[in-house]
Chain A
Amino acid sequence: MGKTTTTSNIAVALARGGHRVVAVDADIGLRNLDVIMGLENRVVYNFIDVLEGTCRLHQALVRDKRVENLFLLPAAQTRTKDAVNSAQMEELCAMLRKEFDFILLDSPAGIESGFRNAAVGADEAIVIATPEVSSVRDADRIIGLLESMGKTPIRLVINRLRPNLVRQGDMLEVSDVLDILAIDLLGIVPEDDSVVKASNRGEPLTFTDTSPASKAFQRIALRIAGEDVPFPKFDEDRSSGFFAALRKFFGRTE
């Protein structure tokens, strides 16, 4: 889907915008946010150490030297997913809230306890879906769960859109995705080879300004920070009037 990619790019873009940001790897056991952010060699402690009192919060935070105000809170790699419970996760988020403007939690895939733990401490949610039938069905399920947990707003990032690709097989139009999921659109990120190159380098794209995906992630970060950033042309070309689909008759009613 691109959860880790999105977390790392938004974290860098927000920090470059002057906000104090921490990216938390909530994917216990499969941790890779540190690798994608290029900080894996500097990981000493992880957030379970903090919760168990083995170290203090600031000892576990890895400071990114490339930009001010960006930190990573790593996950434990050797532990099972059930090493933390929801109450501890809420406690951790409460600690972080005092120190940071934005706390980004990178959730594991699926709807099991790892996902719930990541979600429980969050105020808002960002759901990432690719424009395919199976991904949209998974996203729909996640949104239903988040709604039942009372997380609002829940906003959508459509990732890996191929604007010029002829519609085929299980590919969906942006307007179809919005029609089915009926939540607010936070941004659309195109399929872009530079995403993969950037993860191999351990340098999120939003450190440099040029690629289409980088620009998309930067617009998303601005929208998260509360700015009203228009959706550019490549999003709109996909289908006429998809903005109308944003809040269709059966969409969110509140």
Chain B
Amino acid sequence: MSYAANSRNSPEEGIILKGTGYGLRMIFSEDPPEEELFSSLRRLSAEVPVLSGNLGVVLDFQGRPLTRAFILRLLSEFVWPGNIRVLSWICLDGETMNNLRSMGAATGEPVPERTGRGEKSASGSLILHRSLRSGQRVEHDGDILIIGHVNDGAEVFASGSICVWGRLKGTAHAGLDGGEEHTVVAGLFEAAQVRLGSKVSASLGSGMEWWGKPVIITCENNSLIVRELQL
């Protein structure tokens, strides 16, 4: 599916809608002024009813830097009134990404859900049957179980524990809300850093005896402990 909102107007003011594996991607052209984007958005909301359906939407601003005011306006005039389920905000501008993260917005490339996989279990855990690639990020309120690898440059954030069945090379942050009773478990540990609650590990490397082995990481007596996992 592909729908160009700009078909009747100059292509510069456009928003392009694309169907993808995870839902819809709205790609905002970089040049048009804010006002034009908002009028395109109003037209789109009226013409494309699926936008406010159950489908997740990724907002992709390409290289356009966004001010906080713009983000708030987008939320109050488009996202909230339209009941849009935003999966993630994407922007190539670093400052904007920092702004979005500090506002608590989900960022990064979403992970396409495969039918019957990547489902929330009854207990509120997220089970993902695939690997995460560099630049991909998963965040979940609960425990996360990844039946796959977490590659270098990928990120996993959980308010509960994180278990990576395969190799953990990217960033894992368990106990996001500060809870330090959680654990990080990896089938093969090769991450330069790991975070648990408010604790951040020193930079880790191949010198450690458990490097490249299965590990369990806990917080004990206020410090991070990494142990080889022996079953």
Contact = CB atoms under 8 A, between A and B. Distances in A.
B37 interface: no
Given A141-B134, A144-B134, A85 B109 contact: no
A87 B4 contact: yes
Interface in B104-136: 109-110, 112, 114, 129-131, 133-136
Contacts of A254: 114
Rank and list the top 10 A-B pairs by shortest CB-CB distance, nearest first: A144-B133, A141-B134, A140-B134, A141-B135, A140-B133, A250-B148, A113-B62, A250-B166, A137-B134, A87-B4
Nearest to A134: B152
Contact of A145 (B18, B62, B109, B147): B109
Contact of A90 (B2, B31, B109): B2
Given A137-B153, A143-B133, 8 more contacts: A87-B6, A90-B2, A111-B92, A112-B63, A113-B30, A140-B152, A250-B166, A253-B114
Contacts of A180: 149, 151-152
Interface of B: 2, 4, 6, 11, 14, 16, 18, 20-22, 25, 27, 29-31, 62-63, 92, 109-110, 112, 114, 129-131, 133-136, 147-149, 151-153, 166
Contacts of B129: 253
14 contacts: A82-B31, A87-B6, A87-B16, A88-B11, A113-B30, A116-B27, A143-B133, A144-B133, A144-B134, A148-B22, A148-B109, A149-B18, A250-B147, A253-B129
Contacts of A147: 21, 112, 133
Nearest to B166: A250
- Tell me if A's interface is mostly helix, strand, loop or mixed: helix
B62 A141 contact: no
Given A85-B29, A88-B11, A150-B20, A144 B136 contact: yes
A219 B152 CA distance: 31
Interface of A: 82, 85-88, 90, 111-113, 116, 133, 137-138, 140-141, 143-145, 147-150, 180, 182, 250, 253-254
Contacts of B63: 112-113
A87 B13 CA distance: 13
B130 to A, nearest CB: 7
Given A112-B62, A250-B131, A253-B114, A86 B109 contact: no
Q: Which of A85, A148, A149, A253 gathers most chain B CB within 10 Å?
A: A148
Contacts of B2: 87, 90
Contacts of B149: 180, 250
B112 A148 contact: yes
A141 B11 contact: no
B154 to A, nearest CB: 8
Contacts of A85: 11, 14, 16, 29
Contacts of B31: 82
A137 to B, nearest CB: 5
Contacts of A113: 30, 62-63
A87 B29 CA distance: 11
Nearest to A147: B112
A138 B63 CA distance: 19
Q: Which of A137, A144, A147, A149 gathers most chain B CB within 10 Å?
A: A144
A149 B110 CA distance: 11
A86 B26 CA distance: 12
Contacts of A149: 18, 20
